[in-house]
Structure 1
């Protein structure tokens, strides 16, 4: 039995079992031309977007019957034939389910409101719409719905304006130009897919730049951690002045990290930086300080200190007098404060003060962390944004196996979230973030499966195959 006929049989059984009354009047069956003309009139004023799912389709039935009154004779209004009524019901069920799948009041609902009448006209003329995944109208419906749901409504205000405009153009074009030619679906789908491919290429390039920056940042963090370790080892058993200690633990750690990052620990530059550390810690009175002062000043300038400050600090750590512009001596405390207030290498302004200290993970969070370590780059996550349950999608573009830092990007490839794997694990256990399980089932196929499951509750059986699994 053809799939459309099977669906009609299920509808009839449900009506009988629920005692649904046939609301058809005593008028003649409406012809195909009358129904198409009535829908063409309704197409000029699309259904309102948003609101409770089901309300717009109920209004569609009422408006369609109202349009058919124009063809009435002798007080009898043409009525939808049984096959037409079933088609209207099935398309209405499809759109009601899609409305429930997407964000209330979002772009997807708005665009669905524009598609419903043209697609109903197509389904009335071509029942293959219900069974063929590759039917042009069905493909356009799915592409518009998923693009609006995933690229616009889930973009947290970051949707590409050109994409929103393109979708507006596509749906308006269908609404105004469709008059039975299925070629329009093919043309509009190709137009939208070309635009999506362009956006995908841009997003890929943007994502690649952010990943490269994050990897560079990770290498810098590793170099700085190594530099901190080396400085700490050199300070063991020594008693430097407070200014020398501050210099070594702050700016000189950055200078050493820069040498590791750029040249490696086997380089002459690295050995010179270490020699400077040892010279500052082991200096004896009367030692020649000219070369050492030059080395300190040069290293400080490399990590961003202005020449006057670098020169003043280099002189002071070697116990040479430093005079300010007013002729007053500059204290060690003033120069130590300059070192502490400077922005550290690789840190954004205020970053050090704002870094949260994560509490240890519990057993469940630790298990989640181990699972996350095997998640492939490119996986999508949903982040809960508020107590109303609104979510936004983010793509895991990269994470560091060393530091655990994660980089998330939005659909446009722009950096959107940056957190550690440990924090991600904790938020997932709390239900604030979830991994989006990849599925081959489209939104339209899922809606069809829901419809079939609903009908099967009343009949105890379902169509074979289901609409989602029908062959193209």
Structure 2
């Protein structure tokens, strides 16, 4: 445990019987220490955000009373931030105490009832805010919470810990925080804002804390119990497993597994797949019957018996719409595809209303209604999603009717990741993530191939020929393999150049350091300083790159610098005259040979050797304690920026440079040290500015796609092909393998803050859309109760 964690942990927040715990419960000690440390960091960031928010609100206030309200809130939070942190720690330490004693918290259910003395109306608003926080924690980390509970139950040999009452559970954290701010004098409006920011800054950032807590237990050999899959099929997923865990909950909203959005690691991994059982879909859709086709089109109450439209009639309607989409695609001009996508759901409703009246039916089968509504919402998300270019998403949006037909015929479509149609959709979306509109002079082979796939589906697909999707997947895969092969060839050349550049930068850094070590603090003639910092640096770089650090050529080059600096010190000449006399002719010969080796102008070589001969003559006439004429003291020191605001750090660095140097006359060493100082300030873990963004960019994996605004005003899509941590170099290439962007961490942070850089998720558009739609429906269950 780090010293900072240990010191805070032993200030009264540890459980009783410390010695017994160290002997018998060291895992709980480690978990508690890590949890409390992480939560303190989250709370610190939370209070910073609150302070900034209240300050902005105060500046924008329309009246003095409102402005005073926010200033008083700022003052109250600043005064009691440490108290809130302390109380929260005590509350959670109490929960770990109970775990050590294997006792349940019988008062947990009463915490909410006595934590605030509010009138009934205010009480209701506070309860709603606290419930929202609980739901946020419950829905964001179901798998991590489940694993943590199972491991703790196994370690402590108990069976009553669950996702709500464990030390990181939704009830535990919410109760602890509400009690921690109980004594703060905050008006209801401000208190509700505090709860909202706690939800955003703390509840939404618990993932790393849960991961570390699980890791401590896993490293000790305590594994989560194997989950019981709902079906023996290999594609059974975490979402289906979660549904069994919640099966004993009373309400329909709780009976369904929460649709968990992808984590950061999942979202940027191409193999992320989302599944949901159709039974879960029906349970969720039952809460939103008001928006169903049966209710909106036919005014049929939920559960009301009425004649139902036969499946064949519904498929006939879908076939007509599929034909209309096919005809529309054929009439579209591919060179000018500013296509305004038709509202398929609206067209479907119009056709259904006519067909239902014609057939004498009064409603759709409920399962058919649920399928149509869910697929329509998924495609609405796809059309609005910026993860894929609008031109491609509009084209793929034409597959909505075929997907509805597939889902009607096979309800396992939502839970089967190996369904041929889902595999094809995944392949299309992964290929399309890097698509950019080509110039008018270049043939767009990828868009042509995607259009061909969509056209064939609209022309040939019927409910009984799923083999079409397998055939299209195979042909499209072959196309992508050939395109990838060509792109890889180009990309390899780009990376070879990038690696060479990184190697050169590393060599320059090494030379800067070596020269700085030899010259720093010494008083030397200006002509010698300029020669070493100029042409001789070029020679050093050439020999280091060509021969390496162990070569005689490099060692001779470095020794010449040492001999030159030693020879122009009057004190050295007086103390060791014999060596000084012997070294002069050898030195002049080495310098002449070296400068001629890099084809330095002959006149410049002669001029320097003449100046050096004159300097050596002056040394014979200069007392050892005096400096030579036209000399200056070498000082490459640049003050280190203090941690904190990055712009402030950069300002401090800039202030340490003298005015003439700020004008653009920095030496190579000074430029290198300035860059290094700025980078250290940027990477300083104590620098909370852009901490999350910085962490994300530092952990980018090769292959990660981004969308970036270039200096030419274009929007480009490119993927990370190469990253060198030592030189802070990021190389991004296009889908074709050509270099699009060469940048560094500082520039990427500035671009992201200016909304000029956006990370793209390399996942199937269907999985991404289905996950987001199900998550949104789950969040709205309480807001839109079933009618």
TM-score by length of 1: 0.66
Q: Which residue of 2 aligns with 1:175?
A: 458
Distance 1:237 1:31, change over 3 A: closer
Residues 1:194 and 2:470 are matched in the alignment: no
Picking from 453, 456, 471, the partner of 2:778 is: 453
Residues 1:58 and 2:346 are matched in the alignment: yes
Q: Which residue of 2 aligns with 1:263?
A: 547
Distance 1:226 1:137, change over 3 A: closer
Q: Which residue of 1 aligns with 2:597?
A: 299
Residues 1:35 and 2:317 are matched in the alignment: yes
Aligned-residue RMSD, C-alpha: 5.2
Q: Which residue of 2 aligns with 1:96?
A: 380
Picking from 314, 317, 341, the partner of 2:605 is: 314
Distance 1:79 1:319, change over 3 A: farther
Distance 1:79 1:452, change over 3 A: same
Distance 1:14 1:411, change over 3 A: same
Residues 1:405 and 2:681 are matched in the alignment: no
Deviation string 1:346-382 (CA, Å, 9 cap, x unpaired) is: xxxxx99xx9995844721485698469726427364
Q: Which residue of 2 aligns with 1:252?
A: 536
**How do 1:127-138 and structure 2 match up within 5 A?**
127-138=411-422
Picking from 412, 416, 423, the partner of 1:139 is: 423
Taking the aligned partners of 1:450 and 1:366, their CA distance within structure 2 comes to 27
DSSP 3-state at the match of 2:320: helix
1:163 deviates by: 2.2
Taking the aligned partners of 2:315 and 2:585, their CA distance within structure 1 comes to 105
Moved more, 179-188 or 43-52: 43-52
* Contact 1:14 1:455 (C-alpha < 8 Å) held by counterparts: no
* Contact 2:539 2:598 (C-alpha < 8 Å) held by counterparts: yes
Taking the aligned partners of 2:315 and 2:503, their CA distance within structure 1 comes to 70
Taking the aligned partners of 2:687 and 2:780, their CA distance within structure 1 comes to 44
Q: Which residue of 1 aligns with 2:743?
A: 419
1:106 deviates by: 0.8
1:251 deviates by: 2.1
1:254 deviates by: 1.4
1:169 deviates by: 1.8
DSSP 3-state at the match of 1:139: helix
**How do 1:277-356 and structure 2 match up within 5 A?**
277=561, 282=567, 291=589, 295-301=593-599, 310-319=601-610
1:443 deviates by: 1.9
**How do 1:421-440 and structure 2 match up within 5 A?**
421-424=745-748
DSSP 3-state at the match of 1:446: helix
Picking from 347, 368, 391, the partner of 1:107 is: 391
Moved more, 253-262 or 92-101: 92-101
Q: Which residue of 1 aligns with 2:118?
A: none
Q: Which residue of 2 aligns with 1:465?
A: none
Taking the aligned partners of 2:753 and 2:386, their CA distance within structure 1 comes to 25
DSSP 3-state at the match of 2:416: coil
Taking the aligned partners of 1:363 and 1:289, their CA distance within structure 2 comes to 49
Deviation string 1:250-272 (CA, Å, 9 cap, x unpaired) is: 12201112212222344221244
* Contact 2:287 2:781 (C-alpha < 8 Å) held by counterparts: no
DSSP 3-state at the match of 1:442: helix
Q: Which residue of 2 aligns with 1:14?
A: 288
Residues 1:82 and 2:364 are matched in the alignment: yes
* Contact 1:118 1:175 (C-alpha < 8 Å) held by counterparts: yes
Where does the alignment leave 5 or more consecutive residues of structure 1 unmatched?
321-343, 346-350, 462-472
Q: Which residue of 2 aligns with 1:336?
A: none
1:193 deviates by: 2.6
Distance 1:418 1:192, change over 3 A: same
Distance 1:105 1:207, change over 3 A: closer
Taking the aligned partners of 2:523 and 2:783, their CA distance within structure 1 comes to 84
Deviation string 1:299-318 (CA, Å, 9 cap, x unpaired) is: 323xxx6xxxx333223323
Q: Which residue of 1 aligns with 2:446?
A: 163
* Contact 1:276 1:295 (C-alpha < 8 Å) held by counterparts: no
Aligned pair count reads: 411
Taking the aligned partners of 1:276 and 1:113, their CA distance within structure 2 comes to 70
1:187 deviates by: 0.9
1:88 deviates by: 3.4
DSSP 3-state at the match of 1:222: helix
DSSP 3-state at the match of 2:327: coil
1:94 deviates by: 2.5
1:167 deviates by: 1.3
* Contact 1:380 1:394 (C-alpha < 8 Å) held by counterparts: yes
Q: Which residue of 2 aligns with 1:44?
A: 326
1:185 deviates by: 0.9
Taking the aligned partners of 2:529 and 2:309, their CA distance within structure 1 comes to 98
Taking the aligned partners of 2:437 and 2:772, their CA distance within structure 1 comes to 19
Q: Which residue of 1 aligns with 2:507?
A: 223
DSSP 3-state at the match of 1:133: coil
Q: Which residue of 2 aligns with 1:328?
A: none
- Which of structures 1 and 2 has the larger relative contact order (alpha carbons within 8 angstroms, sep 6+)? 1
* Contact 1:397 1:409 (C-alpha < 8 Å) held by counterparts: no
* Contact 2:709 2:757 (C-alpha < 8 Å) held by counterparts: no
* Contact 1:154 1:393 (C-alpha < 8 Å) held by counterparts: no
DSSP 3-state at the match of 1:395: strand
Q: Which residue of 2 aligns with 1:341?
A: none
Distance 1:106 1:33, change over 3 A: closer
DSSP 3-state at the match of 2:471: helix
Distance 1:120 1:454, change over 3 A: farther
1:279 deviates by: 7.3
* Contact 1:115 1:175 (C-alpha < 8 Å) held by counterparts: yes
Taking the aligned partners of 1:134 and 1:426, their CA distance within structure 2 comes to 41
Taking the aligned partners of 1:439 and 1:263, their CA distance within structure 2 comes to 46
Taking the aligned partners of 2:406 and 2:752, their CA distance within structure 1 comes to 44
Taking the aligned partners of 1:79 and 1:298, their CA distance within structure 2 comes to 97
Taking the aligned partners of 1:271 and 1:34, their CA distance within structure 2 comes to 84
